[in-house]
A and B are shown apart, each in its own frame.
Chain A
Amino acid sequence: MTRQEILEELKKVISPYTTNKEMLAEINDQTDLIKDLKINSANLVDIIIDAEAKYDIEIDYDVADKMMVVGTCIDVISERISQKL
């Protein structure tokens, strides 16, 4: 998957946890899930679990800090997908 394809899928993963749909449509590598999309920290585990299911990967919480910013989120997902191949 390309980074753009992962980004588009990631928007669907994040969507249930943010009410800021306008900003969600325009997220980029610098977008912070908590500060910009106002996602409650209690939902970060949900996002990780949903991303695991969506891409059939495993994400340890020791990389969870990287799951707080869209760009590094894509890095983690991309890395895990490539490890499957």
Chain B
Amino acid sequence: MISTGNDVVSLNAIDITRTKLPNFYSKILSTPESVLYNEAVAAALPFENFVWLLWSIKESAYKYLQRINPELIFTPVMVVGDQLQVPPAYTPTAFGKNELSGAGFRDLPTFDTTVTFGQDVIYSKSLVYTDIIVTVVHSNKNFEDTFWGIKWIDDTDNENQSAAVRAFLLDNLHKLCGLDNITISKNKNAIPVLLIESEETDIPVSLSHHEHFVAYSFQHF
């Protein structure tokens, strides 16, 4: 199962009051996840950030699985994040107007979960800053072949977000993997694909943007 899925949430764009309303968060969290917050996460994250962390995990998992099964329907409460591990000595900081990219998450303070959606089980790693949450999912717990990037952008217009995340990905495909002559397209299911000289590659990519932030993930061996 080769795929990838990512998501970014700009915490400055969320409505904190609304997020705390039961009729809002009950459309995202499953009952066990609501319990999980009080048991394991309350000391590390405010509730609204927990809700959007779970949203980010579920959205990433959906993107990962939809690439494999395009008919998949996204029902957030059916995508269950479990065994959440809070990074030790977690101290939230701001991401700010920066960019960050890497392969794997070694030595980074990630929130980790095991994600179940029906019969499928995958794994998530999330970076939680005071201004953004970024998640990447993978089929096993070793993310060393998972490349990812996050970048602040000035212009939040949808067309610019879309262009910026593609340019960011192409730049890092060149820098990190030495890949050139690549274009990004979408397949018939509206899932992004990489083309090298018009031939579709088997490198799965996932793109995400929210307000001032763009992010990508891809698998490359």
Contacts and interface: CB of A to CB of B under 8 A. Distances in A.
Report whether chain A binds chain B. yes
Contacts of A41: 59
Contact of A19 (B23, B55, B73, B158): B158
A15 B27 CA distance: 21
B24 A49 contact: yes
Interface residues of A, number: 17
Contact of B27 (A19, A35, A38, A61): A61
Contact of A46 (B18, B59, B75, B157): B18
A64 interface: yes
B74 interface: yes
In which size bucket is the chain B interface? 20 to 34
Nearest to B186: A35
Given A19-B158, A35-B190, A38-B158, A45 B24 contact: yes
Contacts of A19: 157-158
Nearest to B19: A45
A23 to B, nearest CB: 11
Contacts of B23: 49, 52
B220 interface: no
Interface string A38-76: 101110011011001000000011101100000000000
Interface string B66-86: 000000011111100000000
A42 B75 contact: no
A38 B210 CA distance: 11
Contacts of B14: 42
A61 B28 CA distance: 8
B165 interface: no
A61 B26 CA distance: 9
A54 B29 CA distance: 23
B28 A45 contact: yes
A62 B78 CA distance: 9
Contacts of A52: 23
Given A42-B210, A61-B75, A64-B75, A48 B27 contact: yes
B40 interface: no
A64 B15 contact: no
A77 to B, nearest CB: 16
B55 A42 contact: yes
Interface of B: 9, 13-15, 18, 21, 23-24, 27-28, 52, 55, 59, 73-78, 157-158, 190, 209-210
